[in-house]
Structure 1
C-alpha cells in the first residue's frame, strides 16, 4: 500500500508539473504576441524614422483616404492605414480642414490627426483689414499682395458677385487659405452681422438688396452715424420721387479709384451706375458697407430734405429745394 501511494503521489506531481509547464508556455506565447503587437503599434503610430520637411494641400472634397495616402507617400506618417483608422474611430473621417499644411518636424499620428481636424496649418497667420466701403477690386489687390498664391483675377472672379455683401472688418487668416475661403469667411460674417437687420427690413417697404445698395452709397457720402441716417433719408426721398440721386461717389466705383470728383463730361459717362444719368438706385452696391451705414439705410432719418453737401468746413448742409441747395453751394464751398 505504501509503494502504491508513493507512485500515485509521484504521478500526480509529474502531471501537475507538466500542466504547469504547458500553462506558463501558453501565457508566455500570449505575452510575447501582445508585446510584439504593442511594438508594431508603437512603430506605426510614432513619428517616422526618416523625415524631410514638406507641405501638402488638402483640396475641397478630398477624402481622408486620399489625404492619408499622400501623407504616407511623403513620409509625414509611418502608416496611412493607422491614420485612417484613427480618423474613423474619432469621427473625424469627413471633418478634415482644407488648405495647405506645413510639416517642418517629425510628428506622431495623434498630432497629425489633431492638426488636420483643427486646421493647424503650421504656417504664419496673415492679418487683413478691409475698411468700410472697400470695393471688390480693392479687396482683390489687398489679398493678392498678402497671399502670393492668390491672383487679383482669381479673387475678383469669386468675389464680384457678392459686392456689397462682404463684411468689412479685420480678419486673421491662415497663410495657406485660398480665395474661396476668404470670400466665404467675409460672406458668412456679413450674414451674421446683419441677421437682426434682415428681420427689420423684412417688415418694411424696402427690399434687403436695395438697403445694401443704399448703404454702399451712404458709406461713401457721410462720415458720422447721424449724417449717415440723414443722407439715407434724403436719398430715399429722391428714390421715392423718381429723382436722379446724383451721387458723386459712384464715379470712384465706375473708374476704380478711391476718391473722385467728376467733371461735367464724367457725369455723362455711359454706365448703369451713373446716378447723374439714371434715376433711382444703381443696379447694385458700389462697395461693401459697414454696419453703421447698413443700419442707416434700413432706419433713415425722416426728413423733408432733398439735397445735401459737405462744405469746406467738413460739415453736412441740407436743403429742401434746389434754390436752397445752390445757396449752400455758394455759402459753404469756395
Structure 2
C-alpha cells in the first residue's frame, strides 16, 4: 500500500464527507442523479422546442417575406398592366377623336362647298332675265326718292326680275345711280343691265292714262263707281266680275293663303269684298278689267302676307280678320280708338253677344246713310249683326292696314259698349248698358254738344 500525502488525504475526506451529507429535496444520492438527469432531459427538450419554434418562426418569416415579395411583384404586374390598358384606351380614344374631327372637317368643307356653289348659282341665276321667252310688258311704278334696294324690291314684287337683293348689289358694284322715278313698262325677258339703263335715262317711262283711287273703307259698290268715273270700265261690268265664280277661283289659285277662307264662306254678297286693297292704281288704256282687279287683289296679298303667321297664332282666319277690320275701319278713325273697339268686339264674341254694329245694318240694307233706325236693325239679312251672333258672312268693306293691325293687336279692356260723338269724333266706352245709355244721352242725343 502506498503512502498518501496528507493534503490528498484531507481532500478525499472532504469529498466523501460531502457525498454522505443528504441534499435538499433529495432522499438519496441516486434519486438526485435521476432527477438531475430528468431535469437535464427536460431542459434539452425545452431547448429543442424553442429551437423548433424559432425555426418555424424563421420559416414563417421567410414564407411571409416570400409572399410579400410575390404580392408586391403581382401588384407591380397588375399596376403595369392597368397602365398599359389605360395607354391603349387613350390611344383608342385619340384615334376616335381624330376620326370624328376629320369627319366634321370634311363635312364642313362639303357643306361650305355646297353653300358656295348654291350662292354662286343663286347670284348667277339672279343676273339672268326672269323669263327670257316672256316678252309681255308689265307696268311698274317707281316712286320718287326710291333707293336702289326699294326699286329692286318693287321689280321683284312685280315679277320683272328674280331677286331684288341681287339687283341692289348689282347696281352698287357697277356704281349705277341716278335712277328716275316714273311709270315704266318692263318685261321679264329684260336683263338687269337693260332695266338699269332704262331707269337711268327714264326711257320707257310712261304716264298712266288714269289713276284710280280706292279710299279706305270703300265697299265693292263704291269701287265700281270710282272705276266708272276714272276709266272706261263700266260699273255693271265690274260688278259682274265680282259675282264671277270663275274669276274668283282664278284669284284663289294665284293667292291661296289670302283667299282660302273666303272660298269657304257662305252667304256672302261678293267673295272678293274686303280683298280689293284701298290704294291709288295706275290705269292704262290697254289694261283689261281683270288686270285692274288683279292689281287690287295682289296688293291685298302683299299687305296681308306680313300677318299670315300672326293670324294663325290667334287661331283666326283671314276672312274673320278682314270682317272685324271692316267694322273697325268705319266705327273709329283714331288708332287708339280702333284698338279699343276691336277689343270690344272680341269681348262680345267671347260671350256670344251680337256685335250690334250699325255698319252691318247699312251693308245689309245696301244703303249709305248717316243714321240707323230701330226699324233698320230688324232687316232680314245674314249681314245683320243685331240679330245674328258671330262675325257674319264676311267683310263689309275693304279696310286699311291700320284697321287690320287694330284687330290683330287690340288694346285689352273690359268694355262691351261704345258710342261715338258724331261732331267731335270722340269715342266713349262703357262696361254696362246703363253706362252706355248715359253716354248716348250726353254725346248723341244732347244737341247742345
Q: Give the shorter-chain TM-score range.
A: 0.5 to 0.7
CA contact (8 A) 1:252 1:260 kept: no
Shift of 1:251: 2.8
Change (3 A) 1:243 1:176: same
Correspondences of 1:1-334 after superposition (within 5 Å): 93-97=133-137, 117=187, 124-148=208-232, 150-159=233-242, 160-311=270-421, 312-333=423-444, 334=446
The answer to which structure, 1 or 2, has the higher relative contact order (CA under 8 A, 6+ apart) is 1
CA contact (8 A) 2:364 2:379 kept: no
Number of equivalences: 231
Shift of 1:145: 2.1
CA deviations 1:3-30 (Å, max 9, x no partner) are xxxxxxxxxxxxxxxxxxxxxxxxxxxx
- The whole-number CA distance in structure 2 between the counterparts of 1:271 and 1:210 is 18
- The whole-number CA distance in structure 1 between the counterparts of 2:337 and 2:369 is 19
Which secondary structure state, in structure 2, belongs to the residue aligned with residue 243 of structure 1? Answer: coil
- The whole-number CA distance in structure 1 between the counterparts of 2:340 and 2:185 is 50
More helix by share: 2
- The whole-number CA distance in structure 2 between the counterparts of 1:161 and 1:239 is 23
- The whole-number CA distance in structure 1 between the counterparts of 2:344 and 2:406 is 11
Shift of 1:218: 0.4
CA deviations 1:140-197 (Å, max 9, x no partner) are 111122222x221221233332110111011222232121111110111111112121
Q: Which runs of 5+ in 2 are unaligned?
A: 1-129, 140-183, 189-203, 243-269
CA contact (8 A) 2:210 2:230 kept: yes
Change (3 A) 1:201 1:124: closer
Q: Which runs of 5+ in 1 are unaligned?
A: 1-89, 100-113
CA contact (8 A) 1:216 1:289 kept: yes
CA contact (8 A) 1:273 1:283 kept: yes
Higher Cα Rg, which structure:
2
- The whole-number CA distance in structure 2 between the counterparts of 1:188 and 1:93 is 24
CA deviations 1:225-257 (Å, max 9, x no partner) are 110100000011111111111101123322333
- The whole-number CA distance in structure 2 between the counterparts of 1:121 and 1:180 is 23
- The whole-number CA distance in structure 2 between the counterparts of 1:244 and 1:116 is 50
Shift of 1:123: 7.9
- The whole-number CA distance in structure 2 between the counterparts of 1:313 and 1:197 is 33
CA contact (8 A) 1:308 1:316 kept: yes
Change (3 A) 1:196 1:300: same
CA contact (8 A) 1:132 1:289 kept: yes
- The whole-number CA distance in structure 2 between the counterparts of 1:143 and 1:239 is 36
CA deviations 1:119-145 (Å, max 9, x no partner) are x79785211111111001111111122
TM-score normalised by L of structure 1: 0.63
Change (3 A) 1:304 1:121: same
CA contact (8 A) 2:327 2:396 kept: yes
CA contact (8 A) 1:215 1:289 kept: yes
Shift of 1:323: 1.1
- The whole-number CA distance in structure 2 between the counterparts of 1:169 and 1:279 is 32
- The whole-number CA distance in structure 2 between the counterparts of 1:189 and 1:91 is 23
CA deviations 1:239-286 (Å, max 9, x no partner) are 111111110112332233344421111111111111111112121000
CA contact (8 A) 1:92 1:117 kept: no
Change (3 A) 1:256 1:98: farther
Which secondary structure state, in structure 2, belongs to the residue aligned with residue 128 of structure 1? Answer: strand
CA contact (8 A) 1:242 1:279 kept: yes
Which secondary structure state, in structure 2, belongs to the residue aligned with residue 223 of structure 1? Answer: coil
Divergent runs of 4+, >6 A:
120-123
Aligned CA RMSD, in angstroms, stands at: 2.7
- The whole-number CA distance in structure 2 between the counterparts of 1:273 and 1:188 is 26
